[in-house]
A and B are shown apart, each in its own frame.
Chain A
Amino acid sequence: MHTNVSSFSIASLSAQERMATGVVAALLGVFMLFGVAFAQPDILHNAAHDTRHAITVPCH
């Protein structure tokens, strides 16, 4: 499974590898940011309250 690369280079990745990695990273990132910045339940809102205000997303 592993290729022997000694240094990381975007150019050394195949387009499919880049797309697959990008999709996984984007989905995880959107999920985490939605929970921290947008989700409505009070428990999430109150825990993340100061973060929401500080990162300048609409809070309440």
Chain B
Amino acid sequence: MIMRVLLAAIIAGLLAGTIASAFQMWRVTPLILAAEVYENKGDTAGTQTGAQASAPEEAQSWAPEDGIERTVYTLLTNSVMGVGFAFILAAVVMFTGRAITLRNGVLWGLAGFVTFSLAPAAGLAPDLPGIPAADLMARQVWWAGTVAATAGGIALIALQDRMALKALGVALIAAPHVIGAPHPANIDSAVPAVLAAGFAANTLAMMALFWIVLGVAMGWSLNRAGTRAET
């Protein structure tokens, strides 16, 4: 049983990760590369605006070569990301005992998108290289806390019948935004705002596509895996 569910998740995750990768190559990566030109200019001029002065270290450690090698690593890590999110989705399906099907898969996908992309992005805008940001650890903590609160809130709203518990769900979703995400004191950046705006819109579009494909594919693969096995 465990293998059957994991296999279905792997299939759905790889499919969604691959489609997201294609979208990323087309709409997102060109913006990252364009921003890095400004980011690197800023570094050499000694006017790095990020709170974390990590770029000089990165220059010395291994990184994939620009071009095909970098693309291959992105494809690889996107696949791991896709399967990782698919495992999380499968786990939630198992814990809640609610079926995921070809029909309702889009709703499961949208819940994942709101939880892991839209809600965190409302506090920490998608982060283009060279755009100033607060301390990395503080942002990671806020990001993880927002994901947990949003997931809990959606679960209460979707799974509980009592109005008081649904209202608690709404409060949980709002809480991280009332507390507020960490932001840097200095927001000067050499990267043009138009790049960052395009990046924010296109990364969210990419993740919406990823999650909708993942939800629908999981609805298909999980049921398909069951009908094929053990005839």
State the A residues within 8 Å of B (CB): 2-11, 13, 15, 17-26, 28-33, 35-38, 42-43, 45-51, 53-60
Interface size class of B (residues with CB under 8 A): 35 or more
The A-B contact count (CB < 8 A) is 178
State the B residues within 8 Å of A (CB): 1-2, 4-6, 9, 20, 24, 28-29, 32, 50, 52, 54-55, 57-58, 61-64, 70, 73-74, 76-78, 80-81, 83-88, 90-95, 97-99, 116-117, 120-121, 124, 126-129, 133, 136, 139-140, 143, 199, 203-204, 206-207, 210, 222-223, 225-227, 230-231
Nearest chain A residue, comparing its CB with the CB of B144:
A38
Picked from A2, A22, A42, A59, the residue with its CB within 8 Å of the CB of B61 is A42
* Residue among A7, A30, A32, A45 having the largest count of chain B Cβ atoms under 10 Å: A32
* Residue among B76, B78, B91, B127 having the largest count of chain A Cβ atoms under 10 Å: B91
Residues of the B chain whose Cβ atoms lie less than 8 Å from the Cβ of A33: 81, 84-85, 88
Dominant secondary structure at the A interface = helix
In the complex, what distance in Å separates the CA atom of A17 from the CA atom of B2? 8
In the complex, what distance in Å separates the CA atom of A43 from the CA atom of B73? 11
Nearest chain A residue, comparing its CB with the CB of B70:
A50
Q: Given that A6-B231, A8-B223, A51-B81 are contacting pairs, would A56 and B207 also be in contact in the complex, using a CB cutoff of 8 Å? A: yes
